[in-house]
Structure 1
Amino acid sequence: MILVINSGSSSVKYQLIDLDAPERRVTGKIERIGEAGSDVPDHEAALKRVAEEVAMDSGELVAIGHRVVHGGPDLTGPVLITDEVVQKIAEAVPLAPLHNPANLAGIEIARKMRPDLPQIAVFDTAFHAAMPAAARTYAVDREIAERYGVRRYGFHGTSTAFVAREAARFAERPAAANVIVLHLGNGASATAVAAGRCVDTSMGMTPLEGLVMGTRSGDVDPGAIFHLLRAGLPADQVEEMLNHHSGLAGLCGDNDMRRVLERVKAGDAAAATAYGVYCHRLRRYIGAFCAVLGKVDVIAFTGGVGENSAQVRRDALGGLEPMGIRLDPMRNSGGAGDAPRRVSADNSRVTVLVVPTDEELEIARETSAVVARTKSQ
């Protein structure tokens, strides 16, 4: 069995997964770590609770897989955690200051608890490491970019890898499908995948680039940021605004797509504008990635919005019939489930799917693969 740990800044999510079954033996989440009034003062206390819940001293446990947001330029695949790997993750903290420190806390505590077990780091950025130079490179001064690690890394990679593989399998082209994965939740990204490899993605050096999100702006002219700085806004305030007070929330005050759609239906002008901007940006990326791939076999929607909002799928793809993309209204409005399901029409050249993501299962699989490779060496 493999224990999957996702150690966040104020929460720890965990699953105990038996890949042979496959089944989840234990699933849990500890929240409000270190917050006022919480009975969980720190990550060590949280991991002790996890240890009790999953019987971490059990002989059935063969490895622990850790979600890590950013691997930096060097950690481009799942890897056995060593002191050197911990140092590399720490060096990437400036690239993910809200996430990597919490990921490291979970790793360090789990290593103390079970130093005998192989522990594996699985990176959100790793799937995108295959991007060609033309897609990952910003057109800025090369020397400065190299010195400070300024390039496009991409995120949501663990989810995207799982969804792209499931979509290709559903389309009966497991080794050759060209897939556009639309991971739409409070955070949102689009990724172009050719034969299992990422060739472009919407998020960049940080998760701020790309699509309109719940509270993040997505693409913004850098000149607008300089304008705000020259106008006297502190840099920290501008960064806070772009990450936490922009996107749907910045445009209409709500970051929950369900609430936004309710307001649109009621005739709310601000919500209608926010939703229009959201869908316009999404359609623009879909069109761009169709051009990048040349031929698209599958468009796969995933994430909370992607899996559950028939209206978003309809409005994102409406009018794209000349590109061979046709939704079936009845399939699209059908109920959700745990398995991939087709929402495109029979005469659609591009298969459109809803694919529920499973990052924990993907982490468990990648953890198991690293352990197997390590044993065979």
Structure 2
Amino acid sequence: MTVVLVLNAGSSSIKWRLVDGQSGAAIRGGTVERLGHDASEGTGHSAAIRDLLAELRHEPVAVIGHRVVHGGSKFDTATLVTDEVEQQIEELAALAPLHNSVNLAGIRAARAAFPGTPNFAVFDTAFHRTLLPAAASYALPAGLVRRHQIRRYGFHGISYQYVSARVAELLRRPLSELRLIVFHLGNGASACAIAGGLSVDTSMGMTPLAGLVMGSRAGDLDPGVLIALGRAGIGWDQLDELLARESGLRALAGTEDMRDIHTAAAAGDQTACAALDVYHHRLRHYLGAYLAQLGGADAVVFTGGVGENSAATRAAVVADMEGLGIRIDPERNGAVAGHSRVVSHRRSRIAILVIPTDEELEIARQSLAALNT
């Protein structure tokens, strides 16, 4: 049996799993949650990863796969980690400060704990290499764009790749025929328009700061706001802190934990209700945009911690869209279930699905494929 260790270090959690490389079955795994906001330094994550690897040091690990958020223009496939690759991932941390640093903490700890075991970096940006030029390009001077590699890269690609394949299985249709709008909703959140299994548009941009309202990120923002704040004397470091750690739901509701926000809203807290209104409004905006970009859709899909578990959010996003062919079934949507399922009404022309993502399995698959190649 070939055992793959997967480390998926996110901005607020670390997921890990030992995977049977032959069957894809999970041997064991777990999640460390609510690691706080020192992610740019990776300190809390590093300690948690060291403790985890100490427990796993006697496991017969043959290969280690790591989620890495930003691969820039350098990486478009799973890549064997060398000292040079490690350095390049560190350089790209400027584009994803909440993520690449903690991804790198996992890589360094694993290389030290399992010397001689191959480590592979699997990049979230790789799935979006098929973005249409019109979707990937910003209206900036060409020289500036080339010099600084400015473009829309997109993120959550590992999740989108896994989920889109699962949708095809569930609908019993070839992925090549499907037009999908997928919402990956967690502490970080994004939307993706997928045609024939390929990413054609996505809400995050050059960095993971763009798009939807997120746990501590504002998402789409008029750049003039930042110019005004800069002229008011707020420095670059303060702006970085503001955009990455002090905005989004954290700013609107006082917490980025959607579970706490829903609890407060259900109790009548008007601040929590207003925060949810802003959050849902942005989701509906992207749903409409991607329906237009794709010329319709075969399915709207929800994944990620919020997408999978918040029936209220799913219902709010697709409310009053019967005229567009989207109708949710309240009973199906409200049922508590941990498996992939259809939650649309039987008369809905566009299917609505909930698909639990499995980034760890996808990372294991891609790491093994790269090893064998």
Indicate how the Cα distance of structure 1 residues 98 and 108 shifts in structure 2: closer, same or farther if over 3 A, else same.
same
CA deviations over 1:74-122 (Å, ceiling 9, x no partner): 1011122234423332331221233323323432343344443332110
Query: Which position in structure 2 is the counterpart of 1:240?
Result: 241
Indicate how the Cα distance of structure 1 residues 99 and 186 shifts in structure 2: closer, same or farther if over 3 A, else same.
closer
**Shift of the alpha carbon at 1:350?**
0.8
Indicate how the Cα distance of structure 1 residues 309 and 161 shifts in structure 2: closer, same or farther if over 3 A, else same.
same
Query: Which position in structure 2 is the counterpart of 1:346?
Result: 346
Whichever of the two has the greater Rg, that structure is 1
Equivalent runs, 1:13-28 vs 2, <5 Å: 13-28=15-30
Query: Which position in structure 2 is the counterpart of 1:72?
Result: 72
Indicate how the Cα distance of structure 1 residues 353 and 7 shifts in structure 2: closer, same or farther if over 3 A, else same.
closer
**Shift of the alpha carbon at 1:32?**
9.7
Query: Which position in structure 1 is the counterpart of 2:203?
Result: 202
8 Å CA contact retained: 2:57, 2:113:
no
What amino acid sits opposite 2:371 in the alignment?
V
Aligned equivalents of 1:54, 1:160: Cα separation in 2? 29
8 Å CA contact retained: 2:12, 2:187:
no
Query: Which position in structure 1 is the counterpart of 2:291?
Result: 290
**Shift of the alpha carbon at 1:370?**
1.0
Q: Which runs of 5+ in 1 are unaligned?
A: none
**Shift of the alpha carbon at 1:223?**
0.5
Whether 1:326 and 2:327 are equivalent positions in the alignment is yes
8 Å CA contact retained: 1:80, 1:119:
yes
Equivalent runs, 1:254-269 vs 2, <5 Å: 254-269=255-270
Greater Cα shift, 301-310 or 257-266: 257-266
* Secondary structure at 1:225 match in 2: helix
**Shift of the alpha carbon at 1:57?**
6.2
Indicate how the Cα distance of structure 1 residues 45 and 132 shifts in structure 2: closer, same or farther if over 3 A, else same.
same
**Shift of the alpha carbon at 1:162?**
1.1
CA RMSD of aligned residues (A): 2.6
**Shift of the alpha carbon at 1:26?**
2.8
Aligned equivalents of 2:44, 2:327: Cα separation in 1? 50
* Secondary structure at 2:175 match in 1: coil
Indicate how the Cα distance of structure 1 residues 145 and 171 shifts in structure 2: closer, same or farther if over 3 A, else same.
same
**Shift of the alpha carbon at 1:228?**
1.2
Equivalent runs, 1:1-377 vs 2, <5 Å: 1-7=3-9, 13-28=15-30, 49-56=51-58, 58=60, 61-176=61-176, 177-337=178-338, 339-373=339-373
Greater Cα shift, 129-138 or 104-113: 104-113
CA deviations over 1:273-293 (Å, ceiling 9, x no partner): 221111111001001011111
8 Å CA contact retained: 1:188, 1:212:
yes
What is the total number of aligned residue pairs between the two structures?
366
8 Å CA contact retained: 1:171, 1:298:
no
Q: Percent identity?
A: 50
Aligned equivalents of 1:165, 1:42: Cα separation in 2? 34
**Shift of the alpha carbon at 1:356?**
0.6
8 Å CA contact retained: 2:46, 2:102:
no
